Amino acid sequence: MRNILAGMFLFVLLSGCNTPEKLLCRNWRLVDVEFNENEYQLTAEQKPQMIQQLRDSCLFVFNKNHTYSFKLPQRIETGVWEFSRKKDTIYTRMEHGGSTSKINVLSKIALDVDSYTGNAGKIHYVLAPLETK
């Protein structure tokens, strides 16, 4: 009986280490992004250049206090975030709007989301942590 209780305690302890919030709250670098270039008035030639610029400069930071920052090549956006009840979607709000990001993967090594912002359509982000915890 004691072994069963010890096993259950260990399972609860270990499973608590990787809650969605703990997995999300870190610094993320952009690995890949996919979007419709027409929605951003880019030519087919400009799109790969834009993606490389984003890979080189984007940084997503999600904090435990439910604030976030998103560093872009020309500016930094800040706001607040929250999970949906099922923890399968991240909602972000900033001064001039917000976005809804459906989580495809959230793990120690990847964050993969489909993000929808107002009338900008869908942007698919693949992120990797700057450090693993």
pLDDT of residue 14: 39
Which regions in the chain score pLDDT beneath 50? 1-16
Instruction: Tell me how far apart the alpha carbons of residues 37 and 60 are, in angstroms, rounded to a whole number.
Output: 22
pLDDT of residue 124: 95
- Report percent pLDDT > 90 for the chain: 60
Phi, psi (5° rounding) for residue 85? -55, -40
The burial of 19, by beta-carbon neighbours within 10 Å (0-12 exposed, 13-18 middle, 19 or more buried), is given as exposed
pLDDT of residue 17: 63
State the pTM of this model: 0.80
Which of these, 100, 73, 71, lies nearest to 88 by C-alpha position? 100
Instruction: Tell me how far apart the alpha carbons of residues 65 and 122 are, in angstroms, rounded to a whole number.
Output: 27
